A and B are shown apart, each in its own frame.
Chain A
Amino acid sequence: EVQLVESGGGLVQPGGSLRLSCAASGFSFSSYAMNWVRQAPGKGLEWLAYVGVGSSVLYYADSVKGRFTISRDDAKNSVYLQMNSLTAEDTAMYYCVRDNADCSTGTCYLIRFDAWGQGTPVTVSS
């Protein structure tokens, strides 16, 4: 069974930092790209960051570029999100999400987020 378990969330003061972790199991972690997605209270989904297979490529949403850093450790089947310079607008549930696609032709099609963790809450407040 595919499982993604986030940890590291909590209460942090404005301007502070937090490092989120996501432990993956039940699949060949090193073969998949991974993402972080967040959802502010009562709001919609916001994609934040992507790390490719082998950390080959990294992508970030404009809202977090320069403040957040995504990374992965395939030996530990884990993906991380280092969050710096946090503001109240970063208060949200943070989800670790598996990226799946059909890449048999060399170009990837049918990209989808097919496994989600339960999320870890982050509250930025003084």
Chain B
Amino acid sequence: EIVLTQSPGTLSLSPGERATLSCRASQSVSSSYLVWYQQKIGQTPRLLIYGASNRATGIPDRFSGSGSGTDFTLTISRLEPEDFAVYYCQQYVTSPRYTFGQGTRLEIK
């Protein structure tokens, strides 16, 4: 079973700074199936990045995704106040089908 481990668990930054969030898979996975979601407090998760690097419709270009194999990264180039949220990575796996990372909380410093 593939396990996705996100780090750090909590990231404290200020608006305007650059955020780098990591998602590491326990074994090599296809970048085609690596997805990032954003969830703000009290809200439903929102699709951010799919296929490791493709921004979803309406997602600002300050959000970018990269990586391959076992290591994937979500980067927010300049943090806006509305970016402080929890971020999850997700991977399609053969069995059982999907798995999520445990999440990274991005908080205002």
Q: Which residues of A contact B (CB under 8 A)?
A: 35, 44-47, 50, 59-62, 65, 95, 109-114, 116-119
Q: Which of A45, A59, A117 has the most chain B CB atoms closer than 10 A to its own CB?
A: A45
- A59-B97 contact, Cβ under 8 Å, with A44-B103, A112-B35: yes
Main secondary structure of the interface of B (DSSP, over half): strand
Q: Which residues of B contact A (CB under 8 A)?
A: 32-33, 35, 37, 39, 44-47, 50-51, 54, 56, 88, 90, 92, 96-103
Q: Which 10 pairs show the lowest CB-CB distances between chains A and B?
A: A112-B50, A47-B98, A59-B97, A110-B51, A109-B32, A116-B44, A45-B100, A44-B103, A111-B92, A112-B35
Complex Cα gap A109–B33 (Å): 7
Residues of chain A within 8 A of B39, CB atoms compared: 45
Residues of chain A within 8 A of B32, CB atoms compared: 109-111
Complex Cα gap A46–B35 (Å): 14
Complex Cα gap A50–B98 (Å): 9
Complex Cα gap A118–B43 (Å): 8
Residues of chain A within 8 A of B99, CB atoms compared: 47
Partner of B44, one of A46, A59, A117: A117
B10 to chain A, nearest CB (A): 13
Residues of chain A within 8 A of B56, CB atoms compared: 112, 114
Q: Which of A59, A95, A113, A117 has the most chain B CB atoms closer than 10 A to its own CB?
A: A113
Residues of chain A within 8 A of B33, CB atoms compared: 109-111
Residues of chain B within 8 A of A50, CB atoms compared: 97-98
| CB-based contact A95/B96 at 8 Å | no
Complex Cα gap A109–B45 (Å): 21
| CB-based contact A44/B102 at 8 Å | yes
| CB-based contact A95/B44 at 8 Å | yes
| CB-based contact B50/A116 at 8 Å | no
